[in-house]
């Protein structure tokens, strides 16, 4: 299913065009850090969850550490046996208040509209719980652009990016020849690669501490437009 590389510019971190990526017929977007700036609500809900069980706040850049990967995994790694209470507290706080501390990145809605006008199919694949992802996208009126919105299952049966992408791709069948992922974290790249899909990594998200291999980077929405050919 890997797309042949043709017809579109490859953009490096410094903004230089150095090659080509496939003209995508289907683009699958991550949500947090790609379509919307959700860091404030996620970090606030995370701190609430830690406070709920009396756990210490880890040092360092919380946004880069916790926004993007499955929160259940993050809390279990950090808290061990105390994680389940924290997970419940996080979900309650995020569902009540944190989800609304969120805004689409500038230029995203226009980009989505232009891609659809060009006949490109669009979908979302996020590690966020699927009902919450649908709620956020509907709140901002972005849901109308997407054929499929796929997220993690509330019962934990589907949570990694690879699993969420499998869920999305199943619903999107039959798949076109050229499929592309757009995300901001290394788990977006790895999850897509497991399905033979290339990724454009955006520079406005939360992956500043991540290590990426040979991928296409778009520092701005305008550069992403160039990469996608709209």
Active site residues: 30
Dihedral of CA 213/219/221/226: which sign?
Answer: negative
Alpha-carbon distance of 188 to 191, in angstroms, equals 5
Q: Which is it for strands 103-104 and 17-21: parallel, antiparallel or unpaired?
A: unpaired
For residue 182, which of 211, 156, 207 has the smallest C-alpha distance? 207
Alpha-carbon distance of 79 to 64, in angstroms, equals 18
For residue 122, which of 30, 9, 220 has the smallest C-alpha distance? 30
Whether the CB-CB separation of 116 and 100 falls below 8 Å is answered with no
Strands (E), 77-178: 103-104, 121-129, 148-152
Read off the DSSP letter of residue 31: S
Whether the CB-CB separation of 185 and 33 falls below 8 Å is answered with yes
């Amino acid at each position: 299913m890997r797309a042949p590389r043709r017809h579109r510019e490859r953009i490096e971190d410094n903004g230089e065009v150095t090659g080509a990526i496939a003209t995508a017929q289907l683009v699958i977007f991550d949500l947090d850090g790609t379509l919307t700036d959700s860091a404030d609500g996620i970090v606030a809900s995370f701190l609430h969850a830690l406070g709920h069980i009396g756990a210490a706040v880890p040092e360092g850049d919380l946004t880069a550490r916790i926004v993007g990967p499955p929160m259940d995994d993050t809390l279990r790694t950090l808290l061990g046996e105390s994680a389940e209470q924290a997970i419940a507290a996080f979900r309650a706080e995020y569902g009540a208040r944190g989800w609304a501390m969120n805004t689409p990145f500038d230029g995203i809605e226009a980009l989505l509209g232009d891609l659809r006008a060009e006949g490109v199919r669009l979908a979302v694949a996020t590690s966020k719980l699927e009902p919450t992802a649908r709620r956020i996208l509907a709140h901002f009126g972005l849901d109308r652009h997407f054929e499929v919105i796929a997220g993690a299952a509330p019962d934990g049966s589907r949570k990694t990016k690879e699993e969420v992408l499998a869920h999305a791709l199943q619903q999107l069948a039959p798949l076109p020849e050229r499929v592309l992922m757009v995300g901001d974290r290394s788990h977006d790249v790895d999850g897509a690669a497991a399905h033979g899909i290339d990724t454009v990594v955006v520079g406005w998200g939360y992956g500043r501490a991540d290590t990426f291999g040979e991928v296409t980077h778009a520092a701005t929405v305008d550069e992403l437009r160039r990469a996608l050919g709209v």
